[in-house]
Amino acid sequence: MALFGCFRFKARRRKRALEGRRVEVSSEEDKGARIFSAKEVERVSANFSRSRVIGYGGSSTVYLGKFPDSSLAAVKTVDAGGSNRLQGIFRQELEILLRVKHDNIVKILGYSEEGTLVLEYASNGTLRENLQGAKGSFLTWKNRAKIAFQIAGALDYLHRHADTEIIHGDVKSSNILLDSALNCKLCDFGSAKFGLSSAAALPPSSRRMIGSPGYADPHYLKTGIASKKNDIYSFGVVMLELITGLDAVSPDGGGGGRLINRVGHMLKDVSKVAEMVDRRLLGECELGEAMAMASLAALCLSEPPSLRPSASDIMESMRNCVASLSSMDKN
């Protein structure tokens, strides 16, 4: 009973926090997204019920939203008491999601001016959960190749085809959602940069905002120069996860820590690629395709960044080396 009372108190505190903060968004940016009232958000999230929590971010919580017509959504809200910096991150993510439209980028359904995003719901969770078996599913080699191709397509759109160049800034397997058909949805634009030139130096205070451990581009960490190549590096790490089935960072800190340290020596010798392929794929994975994918991952991780391919180049290479992708469209 005491626990219930404590949680109810937290819900009231969240409500007061929501009522005390409003986010201004220019009307020309709405582009058809619905504006929800605070009460509507509370209703679809069952008053931010703990039983509806489906994910956490560094400073946000994601709830399963249920509408009267039984349709579902992901309701992402900045944690109560969020600072001005966190509110700025929310506004930035909202602005970007209102700008973009791509099949492999999570779609915004609406938002509330109190700091909540209402997003399309991807029923199969994150790529990381699926690779680690947390969803009770298994991703075949064909599934994994398709997901890699779709992520590259989403990055190509952000880097070249959106109305302004966008650097995602935090490409990782836990920011890649999978829908019921195992199509990917790139999400979480809280670390994104947009409106930059192809390479721009950011002040030291901003450097910690791009990338996650195991995925962050070492060149960016050293120089503070944000560019599309940061995303390509992170994509290379995700490709290694898809090939190996291993985490980008060893959970226990052992095994060399970062995945690139654990398998990097194998990338230098294609004859050793078979040793790094996820054991669960044995008998199904075409070794020639795995070798080509590993070589492509190595290119994405190249130093200096100028040696890394563009997202468009990655897609073209994948079409040429993976039979199941030969007829796939860029978008």
Does a structural domain hold residue 6?
Answer: no
Report pLDDT for 268. 85
What's the pLDDT tens digit per position in 233-257? 999 999 999 999 999 998 776 556 8
The neighbour count for residue 195, using CB atoms within 10 Å, is 8
Residue 144 and residue 196 in one domain: yes
Which range of residues forms the domain containing residue 43? 11-120
3-state class (DSSP) for residue 178:
strand
Residue 105 and residue 169 in one domain: no
Report pLDDT for 27. 45
Cβ distance 257 to 249 under 8 Å? Answer: yes
Residue 88 and residue 39 in one domain: yes
Residue 198 and residue 76 in one domain: no
**What are the angstrom distances between the C-alpha of 222 and each of 14, 60, 217, 281, 310?**
39, 28, 9, 37, 21
Residue 296 and residue 175 in one domain: yes
Report pLDDT for 231. 98
Find the mean pLDDT for residues 298-311.
97
Does a structural domain hold residue 5?
Answer: no
Q: How far apart are CA 136 and CA 300, in angstroms?
A: 30
Residue 54: give its domain's CATH number. Answer: 3.30.200.20
Does a structural domain hold residue 86?
Answer: yes
Find the mean pLDDT for residues 250-268.
82
Q: What is the DSSP letter of 12?
A: H
Does a structural domain hold residue 3?
Answer: no
Residue 197 and residue 94 in one domain: no
Residue 232: give its domain's CATH number. Answer: 1.10.510.10
Which of 104, 120, 136 is where one domain is finished? 120
Does a structural domain hold residue 281?
Answer: yes
Q: How far apart are CA 184 and CA 211, in angstroms?
A: 20
Higher per-residue pLDDT: 25 or 288 = 288
Cβ distance 328 to 145 under 8 Å? Answer: no
Does a structural domain hold residue 89?
Answer: yes
- Nearest CA to 109 among 97, 118, 96, 98? 118
User: Does 231 participate in catalysis according to the annotation?
Assistant: no
Residues 6+ apart with CB under 8 A from 261: none
Find the mean pLDDT for residues 7-31.
47
What's the pLDDT tens digit per position in 125-155? 999 999 998 877 899 999 999 999 999 999 9
Its sign, for the CA torsion 282, 180, 152, 312, is positive
Q: Which two tokens stand for residue 285?
A: 């994975």
Residue 28 and residue 167 in one domain: no
Residues 6+ apart with CB under 8 A from 203: 224
User: What residue numbers does the annotated binding site for ATP cover?
Assistant: 76
Residue 234 and residue 299 in one domain: yes
Find the mean pLDDT for residues 201-218.
74
Q: How far apart are CA 260 and CA 249, in angstroms?
A: 9
Which of 120, 155, 179 is where one domain is finished? 120
Residue 40 and residue 168 in one domain: no
Which of 120, 147, 168 is where one domain is finished? 120
Which residue among the candidates 79, 103, 170, 278 is catalytic per the annotation?
170
What's the pLDDT tens digit per position in 270-300? 788 999 999 999 889 999 999 999 999 999 9
Residue 98 and residue 151 in one domain: no
* Domain total in the chain: 2
User: What residue numbers does the annotated binding site cover?
Assistant: 76
Residue 72 and residue 219 in one domain: no
Residue 98 and residue 156 in one domain: no
Assess whether the previous peptide bond of 251 is cis (omega < 30° from 0). Answer: no
